[in-house]
Amino acid sequence: MKQETIQRIKQFTIDRDWDQFHSPCNLAKSISIEANELLECFQWSDTDFNIDKVKEELADVIVYCVDMVEKLNLDVDEIINAKMDSNEAKYPVEKAKGSSKKYNEL
């Protein structure tokens, strides 16, 4: 994501004085709420979905994720790389390849 896109998201909140509502808990609720509007695109069919609606709802999830990263002063590359370190350890290629099992069942 471009820095100017992140800046636009931040400015949107500042302009509306909405930082007061963006507690980490409220942002976590918001991410879940938007994730489920995304899920609703696939409620009755896995394959027959409205791509424009999917784009909108996925964007909403990502916007709230950016808000949370900013709110908690996180470095997105750092938290993702730390999680990928952990994922790679939990799902070694030789065990996990081609399997959808959870790590504790592999």
Burial 48-69, CB ≥16 within 10 A → b, else e: eeeeeeeeebeebbebbbbbbb
Binders of its own copies among residues 62 to 101 (CB under 8 A) are 62-63, 65, 68-69, 72, 74, 76-77, 79-84, 86-88, 91, 93, 96-98, 100
Characterise 64 by phi-psi region: left (phi > 0), alpha (psi -120 to 50), beta (else).
Answer: alpha
DSSP 103: G
According to CB under 8 A, which residues from 7 to 26 bind its own copies?
8-9, 12, 15-18, 20-21, 23-26
* Nearest distance from C-beta of residue 82 to its own copies, angstroms: 7
Closest CA to 8 of 26, 58, 34, 16: 16
Residue 21 identity: F
Positions in the binding site for its own copies (CB under 8 A)? 1-2, 5, 8-9, 12, 15-18, 20-21, 23-26, 28-33, 35-47, 49, 51, 54-56, 58-63, 65, 68-69, 72, 74, 76-77, 79-84, 86-88, 91, 93, 96-98, 100
